[in-house]
Amino acid sequence: MRRGAFAVPPGIYLDGNSLGLMPLVTRDLLERRLGEWSHEAALGWESWFGLAESLSPSIARLVGAGAHEVVATGSITSNLHSLLATLYRPEGEKRTVVATALDFPTDLYALRAWTDRLGGTLRLVPSRDGHTLHGDDLRAAMTPDVALVLLPTVLYRSGQRLDIPGLTAAAHAAGAVIGWDAAHSIGAMPHALHDSGADFAVWCHYKYVNAGPGAPGGLYLHERWHHLTPGLPGWWGNDKTTQFEMTTGYRKAPGAGAYQTGTPSILALTALQGALGIFDGLNLAEVRERSLALTDHLIAQVDRHTPELQVVTPRSHDERGGHVSLAHPEARELSRALRTLGVVPDYREPDILRLAPVALYNTEAEIDEVVRLLRTLLDSGEHRRTLTPASPVT
């Protein structure tokens, strides 16, 4: 939809669910920012001071929330710690936290730190098939002793999409607070976090949002919680109008901006600014439509040409995110072999090949070529002889 707006590397890139491509505008924006640092130095803060807040309307549109309910800050992990420090308040018997065995590990590290600290229990909903979660199991885990639930909007390995409104309602019916890790859905589909009633969410901006390696994260906090004082406060979350009075008392900013902590990286926020500008001009329903068309095409091609690769991503549109996961005992070797052929897929232990045809810059022709290469590899066995080392990709 916007391929011309990106620096598209040579070969075929199907790893935008790990690191999105660089928007061409980002280089110009960063150059302008370096010019400000060069020529204005500290006076540059006159324009940088509200930079994070200036991005909130664009971010709010991506997640379906009010601009006052979101802010670009921290990382998924640090934002999760901030929100858990604020919203996880075990009382009496109500102290269990529900997550899942298929969550991205850092979410579990954060949750366990807080259940350990405050005397709670972390309950992990298991998977029946090793790849996906069953709605019945998730709902059954939401017993009256549950204080907080954290779920992924889209599972990072299988690409399964969960039912945000339904599971949010179930958590609320159990009297629990519910948060969402939207890392694998933001930028790939519309959201309605506020209308769903979700209490909070965290995400990164370096996947489908294309804000660069290790870009600032984001968080959403429903306005019903804006009266709370952040549990891990910092001066950048102080009310902006009094921040520089430098008093010893913290006066929180009125909305989600209160969850900022230290001075944000202006260079990193600038790359986010460039990336968000592309989405400002897009209809998110059309982004989702294009994403589904691409993943439909990929699944159909795999079914037809490489049926030995098992599609573990749910086939229903409602239950699918932006990437397709293929299970195969030689997934690691296939991933390495594809790289030597100029294709960048993504591999996840122990047997998952993840392919993300991204709405904004991938094409059907690229998908066809990758499936053709996979067929050739499977026929020749050439991938079993490839010895390039695996690389770390987030």
Q: Least Å distance between CB 243 and a second copy? A: 7
In the residue annotation, 354 being an active-site residue is answered as yes
ω into residue 350 within 30 of 0, thus cis? yes
Among 104, 252, 348, 351, the one annotated catalytic? 104
Active site (annotated) includes residue 104: yes
Q: Please enumerate in sequence order all residues whose Cβ is within 8 A of that of 357, keeping only pairs 6 or more positions apart, or say none.
A: 14, 291, 294, 295, 297, 298, 324, 363, 366, 367
Interatomic CA distance for residues 46 and 1, integer angstroms: 36
Does 106 interact with a second copy (rule: CB under 8 A)?
yes
Between 250 and 305, whose beta carbon lies closer to a second copy?
A: 250
**Residue range at the interface with a second copy (CB under 8 A); choices 125-133, 141-149, 168-176, 256-264:** 256-264
Restricted to residues 130-189, the positions that interact with a second copy (CB under 8 A) are none
The 10 Å CB-count burial string (b at 16+, else e) for 51-70 is bbbbbbebbbbbbbbbbbbb
Indicate if 220 belongs to the active site.
no
Residue 388 makes contact with a second copy by CB under 8 A: no
Catalytic residue (one of 103, 181, 199, 346): 181
Could you tell me where the beta strands, DSSP code E, fall in the chain?
A: 6-7, 12-13, 22-23, 70-72, 96-100, 121-125, 146-152, 177-181, 200-203, 218-221, 310-311, 324-327, 343-344, 346-348, 352-355
What's the CA gap between 153 and 99, in Å, rounded?
12
Q: Is 45 annotated as a binding residue?
A: no
**Can you tell me the distance from the alpha carbon of 364 to that of 256, in angstroms, rounded to the nearest whole number?**
40
| Region binding a second copy by CB under 8 A among candidate stretches 20-28, 53-61, 144-152, 276-284 | 20-28
Q: Say if residue 26 carries a ligand binding annotation.
A: no
Annotated binding residue 73: no
Considering the complex, state which of residue 200 and residue 206 has its C-beta at the smaller distance from a second copy: 206
- The residue from 54, 57, 66, 104 that contacts a second copy (CB under 8 A) is 104
The whole-angstrom separation of Cα 49 and Cα 253 is 14
**Is 181 labeled as ligand-binding?**
yes
**According to CB under 8 A, which residues from 33 to 92 bind a second copy?**
34, 37-46, 48-49, 74-78, 81, 85
- 291, two tokens: 């994403």
Q: Which of 195, 245, 286, 364 binds a second copy (CB under 8 A)?
A: 245
DSSP 238: B
Nearest to a second copy of 33, 68 (CB atom): 33
The catalytic residue positions are 104, 181, 206-207, 354
Q: Which residues are annotated as a binding site for pyridoxal 5'-phosphate?
A: 76-77, 104-107, 181, 184, 206, 235, 263
